[in-house]
Structure 1
């Protein structure tokens, strides 16, 4: 482990800049928070809406029946895509 010494004034300056950067990032994230994502559905929502099991949902994903988006190992579905599947199932 390497130890580095810096002056207290330099450290304070670094911390102030870091805090200013953090505030800017928080402001930017606050402006764009949940834009559109609140309208997306997760696995549990889709299974409940379609009254299907998780395995059936996976089959729909695998064969291209239902489009999805994956973000950090979590799957999301657009409500209009789920509605299209409902209409497709009704027509069969």
Structure 2
């Protein structure tokens, strides 16, 4: 527990010194704000978006716009188009990646 506190509050490096210090309401509010911020960051990292735009898919897979277009045209990646915006299912992208996994012991 103390390691987590030290990460959030570097000033708590020497906890013995803090035993005799008074904690104010402002101290508690600051601590609460830091914890809430950390929880928001953690929850965003753990739960990817369900639908990704083309720019997000290109960044995720590190591919060019032309490659993404080819994956759409040849049916490798399914998509949904609403207005002029194309969306890709994150789950579908993971499935495609798993289905196309190459065993390094087999010849390509």
The bucket for the TM-score relative to the shorter chain is 0.5 to 0.7
After TM superposition, the runs of 4+ consecutive aligned structure 1 residues lying more than 2 A away are 88-92
Q: Please name the residue that 2:55 is paired with.
A: 44
Name the CA shift for 1:55/1:64 in 2 (closer, same or farther; >3 Å). same
RMSD: 1.6
- TM normalised by structure 2 equals 0.46
Residue 87 of structure 2 is aligned to residue 82 of structure 1: no
For structure 1, the 5+ residue unaligned runs are 1-37
- TM normalised by structure 1 equals 0.54
Contact 2:50–2:91 under 8 Å retained in 1: no
Aligned residues: 55
> Which structure shows the bigger proportion of residues in helix conformation?
1
Q: Tell me: higher relative CO, structure 1 or 2? Use CA pairs within 8 A at least 6 residues apart.
A: 1
